[in-house]
Amino acid sequence: MPDGLDVDYDGLIPNNVGLSQDARVRRALETWHPGYIDWWRDMGPEGFQDALVYLRTAVSVDPAGWAKFGFVRMPEYKWGILLAPAVADRTIGFGLHRGEEVWQEVPGEYRAMLRRLLVIQGDTEPASVEQQRHLGATAPSLYDLRNLFQVNVEEGRHLWAMVYLLQKHFGADGREEAEELLRRRSGHIDTPRMLGAFNEATPDWLSFFMFTTFTDRDGKMQLAALAQSGFDPLSRTCRFMLTEEAHHMFVGESGVARVIERTCAAMREAGIDDATDVAAVRRLGVIDLPLIQRKMNLHCSLTFDLFGNEISTNAANAFNAGLKGRYREDRIDDDHLLATATYPVLRLVDGLVVREEVPALSSLNMRLRDDFVADVEGSVARWNRVIERAGFAFRLTLPHVGFNRRIGEFARGHLAPDGTVLTQAAWQQLMPEVLPTAQDGAYLESLMRPERRPGVFAGWIAPPKAGIDSKPGDFEYVRIEG
């Protein structure tokens, strides 16, 4: 058996799961592979399939050095199946099976639940590639173009990760699910992706940076909860995926920070002190801070919906079963059973936002969403430091969890970003101030002109602090001619 560190690069599918000795799964994956490549060519980055892109590829899961950088055509990227090393004598950390040895095979009684968890996670991975497929045409620099493609190929690899688990452990059902994952399409009227936020458009680069800050971070939280799983192959898969996910959030957070930095510098140069003087700021060809706030409101609220209903029996069942834990379950100091514990949940009762103690088992989605908020607050604080250092009084704030919701407790109410409950009429009136408008969209579109000269950046975004893989500022990250 492979020890979980060495990656076999000889076959069609790089892996550290011993595929060369597993003829059944290797055949299933090799059968799936052409359909995947067709999907990538149809739905992956439009117009750049032949470009040479400076990408990192995972060649080991050793934390000390798993990545190798080099120029690759994306359809030839080595999408592999990589599991983090097994932890010796690992036991189930929570739920009804706490203390028992972890499962290497799917426990029969939880088969349906586990399959559902894998399919929902798997569906988000190709969805984001589809959502981002037109962005290459308007990239503000070759550096950003390369980062987009890095995120895209890794989301592709995450699909492989889930498809491997389905094909390895779910037989014919798993093969069918793997086909379905290639058949659904983000935003398609008949065969949409499974979750709402993954059917929204990503029309411009500010949306992309917001998506990778907020929505990829939902991915991080879900993967972290699944990394606690008593189903050991899932735990090991998710632990490795998390190392890649960190880069996606870096792309998002640093992208927004660079937009803010450029806007503030342009306002300074032009002698503008009032960051809310939108007309004056837009004359400079940069993105005003109030628009950044509206985009943030949108992407944050769409992402809140991904955590599902605050009160959820599915979440309780998955926890009891030992399949999906809490964020950092292994660092929480309690009984990990939650039989009698409670958790404070925000609810909308008779038009008022109230905090109620609810059985902790039923409120696991709410808790994961709270952990998400704590995590993303760090990004917002860093963005605000950029504004503060430039000497502006404006501050970005996360919207209230009840703002603009379609799922859960707050779906039936209308809340302002500060949490005030509004009438329908007041909400309609407030909307253009707190969510991106058609004019905002048109303005952003007017700025989205591609910049393809090495080391040059579009006028609405500052260069990064450092290059990828320590490359110099004028490095040609994407050779478009191929």
- Contacting Fe ion within 297-316 (CB under 5 A): none
Residue 216 binds Fe ion, judged by CB under 5 A: yes
In the bound state with Fe ion, the residue whose beta carbon lies nearer, of 131 and 141, is 131
Q: What is the nearest approach in angstroms of Fe ion to the Cβ of residue 77?
A: 15
- Contacting Fe ion within 14-53 (CB under 5 A): none
In the bound state with Fe ion, the residue whose beta carbon lies nearer, of 138 and 213, is 213
In the bound state with Fe ion, the residue whose beta carbon lies nearer, of 356 and 371, is 371
In the bound state with Fe ion, the residue whose beta carbon lies nearer, of 226 and 286, is 226
In the bound state with Fe ion, the residue whose beta carbon lies nearer, of 140 and 219, is 219
Q: What is the nearest approach in angstroms of Fe ion to the Cβ of residue 255?
A: 14
440-479 footprint of Fe ion as x/- string (CB under 5 A): ----------------------------------------
Q: What is the nearest approach in angstroms of Fe ion to the Cβ of residue 70?
A: 21
Q: What is the nearest approach in angstroms of Fe ion to the Cβ of residue 248?
A: 4
The window from 121-129, 199-207, 396-404, 441-449 that contacts Fe ion (CB under 5 A) reads: 121-129
Query: How crowded is the C-beta side of 1, counted as CA atoms within 13 Å?
Result: 4
Size of the site for Fe ion (CB under 5 A): 7
Q: What is the nearest approach in angstroms of Fe ion to the Cβ of residue 152?
A: 10
Residues in the chain: 482
- Contacting Fe ion within 228-247 (CB under 5 A): 245
In the bound state with Fe ion, the residue whose beta carbon lies nearer, of 93 and 156, is 156
The window from 63-71, 213-221, 313-321, 400-408 that contacts Fe ion (CB under 5 A) reads: 213-221
Q: What is the nearest approach in angstroms of Fe ion to the Cβ of residue 15?
A: 18
Q: What is the nearest approach in angstroms of Fe ion to the Cβ of residue 328?
A: 19
Q: What is the nearest approach in angstroms of Fe ion to the Cβ of residue 128?
A: 7
Residue 193 binds Fe ion, judged by CB under 5 A: no
In the bound state with Fe ion, the residue whose beta carbon lies nearer, of 216 and 440, is 216
Say if CB 267 and CB 281 are below 8 A apart: yes
Q: What is the nearest approach in angstroms of Fe ion to the Cβ of residue 229?
A: 17
Three-state SS for the chain is CCCCCCCECCCCCCECCCHHHCHHHHHHHHHHHHHHHHHHHHHCCCCCCCCEEEEEEECCCCCCCCEEEEEEEHHHCCCCECCCCCCCCCECCCCCCCCCECECCCCHHHHHHHHHHHHHHHHHHHHHHHHCCCHHHHCCCHHHHHHHHHHHHHHHHHHHHHHHHHHHHCHHHHHHHHHHHHHCCCCCCCCCCCCHHHHCCCCCHHHHHHHHHHHHHHHHHHHHHHCCCCEHHHHHHHHHHHHHHHHHHHHHHHHHHHHHHHHHHHHHHHCCCCCCCHHHHHHCCCCCHHHHHHHHHHHHHHHHHCCCCCCCHHHHHHHHCCCCCCCCHHHCCCCCCCCCCEEEEEEEECCEEEEEEEECCCCHHHHHHHHHHHHHHHHHHHHHHHHHHCCCCCCCCCCCCCCCCCCCHHHHCCECCCCCECCHHHHHHHHHHHCCCHHHHHHHHHHCCCCCCCCCCCCCCCCCCCCHHHCCCCCCCEECCC
Q: Choose which of 97, 248, 295, 414 interacts with Fe ion (CB under 5 A).
A: 248
In the bound state with Fe ion, the residue whose beta carbon lies nearer, of 211 and 343, is 211
The window from 75-83, 176-184, 209-217, 260-268 that contacts Fe ion (CB under 5 A) reads: 209-217
Write down the residue that tokens 């579109």 correspond to. Answer: 445
| Assigned token pair, 329 | 């379950």
Q: What is the nearest approach in angstroms of Fe ion to the Cβ of residue 102?
A: 23
Q: What is the nearest approach in angstroms of Fe ion to the Cβ of residue 214?
A: 11
In the bound state with Fe ion, the residue whose beta carbon lies nearer, of 158 and 168, is 158
The window from 66-74, 101-109, 211-219, 262-270 that contacts Fe ion (CB under 5 A) reads: 211-219
- Contacting Fe ion within 130-169 (CB under 5 A): 155, 158
Residue 400 binds Fe ion, judged by CB under 5 A: no
Say if CB 137 and CB 452 are below 8 A apart: no
- Contacting Fe ion within 264-293 (CB under 5 A): none
| Assigned token pair, 376 | 């993303």
Closest CA to 202 of 74, 301, 295: 295
In the bound state with Fe ion, the residue whose beta carbon lies nearer, of 174 and 219, is 219
Q: What is the nearest approach in angstroms of Fe ion to the Cβ of residue 224?
A: 12
In the bound state with Fe ion, the residue whose beta carbon lies nearer, of 219 and 290, is 219
Closest CA to 58 of 327, 251, 239: 239
d(CA 89, CA 132): 41
d(CA 373, CA 376): 5
In the bound state with Fe ion, the residue whose beta carbon lies nearer, of 103 and 205, is 205
| Residue ranges in contact with Fe ion by CB under 5 A | 125, 155, 158, 216, 219, 245, 248
